[in-house]
Amino acid sequence: MKRFGINTGNALGVPVTRLRIIARDTPGDHCLALQLWVTGIHEARLLATMIEDPYKTKEKQLDRWLKTVDSWDLCDQLCLNVASKMPFAYRKAFEWSEREPEFQKRAGFALMAALAVRDKQAEDYQMEAFFTPILNECTDERNYVKKAVSWALRQIGKRNEHLRKKAIEVAEKIGEKDSPAAKWIASDALRELSQH
């Protein structure tokens, strides 16, 4: 786990595949999810995101959980499994992308990536609105932020041909910035988006 950049201080080493099996047998258990989260154990928190009932999740709870996230994988699972299913998901993506703490900022872009994949009913303009925070934050040199910015841009570009062209334009603008992070994001996104 440590070699993948996951904080092992409170980890037990339970594989995610095993957690998914447990989650399948415990769907939509809000009370248990809350109890698991407060343990502080990494795998318990991952499982909490898998079994949380999005219809019972409150915005304040989601913000509280996010403030205690200390690894990229927990950040991503919180966004994929819970935040992307919330009615306020788009607003949170913008809000979190402006935050300073690394995993909170990452969450904004991870949520954009999740919405690009999961929200099949979203209009192109909703996805295009994400280009503004992507352009604004593409110079953040922190590894987990820049990877999430690239992830969001690539997932938006994969939705359809129109968005692919727009995402390529954004990646090219990013590549013009005088920033190693921006150049990495542009290269990473263009490599994938140019293959389609």
What pLDDT is attached to residue 6? Answer: 56
For the segment 50-66, what is each residue's pLDDT rounded down to a tens digit? 999 988 999 999 999 99
What pLDDT is attached to residue 10? Answer: 79
CATH, range 88-196? 1.25.10.10
For the segment 53-99, what is each residue's pLDDT rounded down to a tens digit? 988 999 999 999 999 999 999 999 999 999 999 999 999 999 999 99
Over range 176-189, report the average pLDDT. 98
- If you search the block for the tokens 């820049």, which residue do you land on? 146
- Furthest-apart CA pair in the chain: how many Å? 50
- If you search the block for the tokens 């980890």, which residue do you land on? 11
44 or 8, greater pLDDT: 44
Q: Do 111 and 148 contact (CB within 8 A), yes or no?
A: no
For the chain, residues classed under CATH 1.25.10.10 are: 88-196
Q: What are the CB-based long-range contacts (under 8 Å, 24+) for 10-13?
A: 10/40, 10/41, 10/42, 11/41, 11/42, 11/43, 12/41, 12/42, 12/43, 13/43
What pLDDT is attached to residue 195? Answer: 83
As a whole number, the mean pLDDT across the chain is 95
* pLDDT-derived band at 1, boundaries 50, 70, 90: very low
What pLDDT is attached to residue 21? Answer: 95
